[in-house]
Amino acid sequence: MKAPAGGTGRAAAVLSSLVTPGRLPATLGAAGALLMLLGAVLPWVVGADADTLSYGFRADAATGAPALGSRAGLAGGDALVVVLTGAAALWAAGLLVFGRGRFVHRTVVGAAAVLGGAWAALDLAETGTVRDRAGGLPDLAAGPGPYVVLVAVPLLLAAAVLAKHNVFEEQEVRTLRAVRLCDNGRVGEALEAQQRTVRAARRSPGRSHPSTTSATVELVRMYVWAGWPGRAAELARQASEDARAWAPDAPEDYRRLQADIAEILG
């Protein structure tokens, strides 16, 4: 029985939306993070002596409790490190999916790739070469875990390199966060947050950009809410002056700006 054409079409639409230039870095990052987490819980060693080590998610030979990795017989937490790096990469990739990723999140994805990959490569190099307590070499070979982690590394690196910083999305997200703080009665925190947003917007994209004007007007509104009409009026004057640079290209938006300012200041 054939699958409904509508279902196939929706699946194709979802897939195509994930590989657009804007979403591709987030998709690669999420895929890499999930692979890294998968690799962490797969066996990292196989062989006749594999049961003497705790690699991947398996019971510790001595205690019977589930354990996450050691280094070819030495005390350590290899798989645990990979779990943590994979979880961090998944968190950062999730923010990239929703357009909220900043430089720090791209850095987290790249760092997870480097740390997880280095850990897996080191284990591959050391497996079967570390002597046990009796001085003998255990009969061990590399399991699938570290190889799966190494497959995740180029995906995470590609995500970190391809992800671009969108100053407009970041500014919008930060402004919405400040508005929520203000709505919840945390006016002081909201003012500090929006002041930082306006300072960042003045650096990029610049004082004369419409998005900077929008963020500034929101700060004017917060000053009025906080009972500082003098600051609000001065900042509104600066916003109007800066807006003259883009007013000829968007006269309707400029008139709307003036009306909004007049309404805010009462």
Is 13 contained in some domain? no
CA distance 43 to 55: 5
- 70: pLDDT strictly greater than 60: no
| Residues 50 and 134 reside in one and the same domain | yes
At 178, which CATH number?
Answer: 1.25.40.10
| Residues 257 and 140 reside in one and the same domain | no
Single out the residue in 105, 139, 162 at which a domain terminates: 162
| Residues 157 and 210 reside in one and the same domain | no
The identity of residue 125, as a single letter, is A
- 127: pLDDT strictly greater than 50: yes
pTM of the model as a whole = 0.54
95 or 217, greater pLDDT: 217
Is 14 contained in some domain? no
Q: What is the pLDDT of residue 96?
A: 72
| Residues 185 and 115 reside in one and the same domain | no
| Residues 98 and 155 reside in one and the same domain | yes
82 or 164, greater pLDDT: 82
Is 12 contained in some domain? no
CA distance 70 to 123: 9
Single out the residue in 162, 179, 196 at which a domain terminates: 162
| Residues 219 and 205 reside in one and the same domain | yes
Q: What is the pLDDT of residue 154?
A: 94
- 40: pLDDT strictly greater than 90: no
209 or 173, greater pLDDT: 209
Six-digit token string for 35: 């692979």
CA distance 143 to 50: 10
196 or 165, greater pLDDT: 196
Q: How many domains does the chain have?
A: 2
Strands 57-59 and 66-68: antiparallel
CA distance 186 to 180: 9
| Residues 251 and 180 reside in one and the same domain | yes
Is 3 contained in some domain? no
> What average pLDDT does the chain have?
78
Q: Cβ of 88: how many Cβ atoms within 10 Å? A: 19
| Residues 116 and 229 reside in one and the same domain | no
Q: What is the pLDDT of residue 156?
A: 92
Q: What percent of the chain has pLDDT over 90?
A: 19
Q: What is the mean pLDDT of residues 94-117?
A: 78
Single out the residue in 162, 188, 214 at which a domain terminates: 162
- 105: pLDDT strictly greater than 50: yes
Distance of alpha carbon 26 from its chain centroid, rounded?
A: 8
228 or 131, greater pLDDT: 228
Q: What is the pLDDT of residue 104?
A: 75
Is 2 contained in some domain? no
| Residues 130 and 175 reside in one and the same domain | no
Residues spanned by the domain of 187: 167-265
| Residues 42 and 154 reside in one and the same domain | yes
